[in-house]
Each structure stands twice: as C-alpha cells, then as structure tokens.
Structure 1
Amino acid sequence: MTAVTQLTIIKGDATSPQAKGRKVIAHLCNDLGGWGKGFVLAVSRRWPEPERDYRDWHRHRAGNDFGLGAVRLVRVAPDVWVANMVGQRGIRAGSGGPPIRYDAVRRCLTALGDEVQALGASVHMPRIGCGLAGGTWSRVEPLVIDALCARDIAVTVYDHG
C-alpha cells in the first residue's frame, strides 16, 4: 500500500506555484471553446500558450480528443505546464444544473495523474470547478485526493485572497 500524499491548501496565486521542481497548473475548461472568465484570465495574463492551444484544440475537435474528460498539457516554462482539463458542459447553469460535470472532472484528474507521474511533477490548482462551473469543493476534493494524492502526487490548492 502506498502512502497518500496530503492535499495542501494555501493562500496565494495558483499561477505562481510555490514548489521546487516540475509543476503542473491544473484548471477546468468548458466544452464550448469559450475562454474569457474566471481563472483562465489569470493564466492568460501570464502566458498566451494555454489559451492558444485550447482554442486550437477546440477548433480542430473533429479530428482530436477534445471533449468532456479530456486533458492537454501546455508547456509554459522549462519546469511549468498548464493542464487544460475539459470538465464543464457549457458555461451557464440551466435545467441540467451547474456546468460542472463531476464524472468528467474525475476522468480529467485520472488522466492528469498519468501525465504528472510521467513528468515527476507536483500539481497546483485553484479550487477547480468551484467558481463559474458551479461545483462544490466537498464533491471536488475527494476526486482530487483519489486521482492524485492517492498516487503519491503532491497537490497544492490555492485560495486567492
């Protein structure tokens, strides 16, 4: 049995990860190709590549894996990647509830775990899915722990403030 790495929650900015070594900044995207509100604005202020890659990925979705549960890592520095994870259906709450899709978030985090282990990186994120996506941390946190911490991947969650 492997040890479960603790999830750490700190005050700070997830776009400035507080760790040594390789780091992956993870966040949720929608399945509509929309990028322009929430955490992605902070990402785009620092690096143009994640937004460019996400829009290109969506534009060419007929020939790739773009869709709920998909993940793409975009390298933004020698030791930093941004993980665009498609975990929201649309951008507004409607009859189907809030945009977050917990099953898609679980699939994203599982795929992210594979990528992060291959890189030997730590994961840094805001409280994914709990802003514009309308999710609750009490439902997202266990997904993060199961998909990442249980695989001995260090995860830091940043509360902006």
Structure 2
Amino acid sequence: MPSGRVHEAINLTVLGGGAVVYLAYGGSPEDPQGLAFTLAYLAGTFLLSPDLDLAEKGTRSQRRWGLLGLFWRPYGWLFRHRGLSHTWVLGPLTRLGYLAALLGGLFLLAQGVAAHLGMPFTLRLPPWPPEVWGSALLGYYLSQWLHLVADGIWPDHDLKRLRRPR
C-alpha cells in the first residue's frame, strides 16, 4: 500500500492536471465553484484522509491537525483500518459526520461560555448557492476516491466480498 506521501503526490498530480484542463476550457481561478472544489479537495487530501482511521499515535493524517489531532484518536478506535472508513460512499461520510460532531460540540461549548458571560453568540453558514456546496462535496469525494484507488479498493470491493462463498 502507498505511503501517505505517495497518496498526496497522486492527489496533487490529479488536481494539477484537472486545473490545467479546467483553465484550458475557460475556467476562472476566481470562480466560486472551482475554488470550493479545490479547497475541499485539498482538505480531503491533507486533513480528512481515509487514514485517520489509524488509531496509532502520530500518524501523518493526525499530525496535520497539530494538537487537535488528539480529537481524531476516537475515530481511529471506532473504525478499523481499511474497514467501513475505506468504503466509497460511507467512508468519506463518516469523516464528515465525525468532523460535524466535533464542530457541533465546540459550538455548543462556545455558546454556553458566551451565554455565561452574557454575550450573544451565533453562527451562520455562508449563503453560497447549492452549486458551490455541490462542487465542494465533489472535490472532497474525489480526493477520497483517489486514495481508495491507490489502496487497491475499487467501488465493487465490498460487493465481491459479499458474493464470495464462505
């Protein structure tokens, strides 16, 4: 299986090639959809890698989070390496859900502290059109899928295991 550096090199190569094609067909680097796609793709490559399921201390994926990498240790305990977290649809969704739960907990904590101090605290998502959110989701999933392909996990991977007689 490829190392973390190889996964990153593959993802960055594909992103660079895609950017060249995008710009050649008249795409603008300032387009919100292209920017959302790129940022989500990079976040999926460097911050939300499928290898966050490694519960070992100091994995490459967790180190990128710095001290906050400790918050990803329970994720590694919940999902065995190359298990559910390395599936094509649910795997990336588990990391988004886990991140949403972490951010939700942080939001509730900040809201409680602000209420205790008598300060108003609200949070609003940017009012981006659905196309921008869709581009971000596509960029994130594409980065995850390239990681899985490099690991030799194809979309029919789980189906083959189901069909195999035991």
TM-score normalized with structure 1 length: 0.30
Q: Which has the larger radius of gyration?
A: 2
Point out the structure with the larger strand share. 1
TM-score normalized with structure 2 length: 0.30
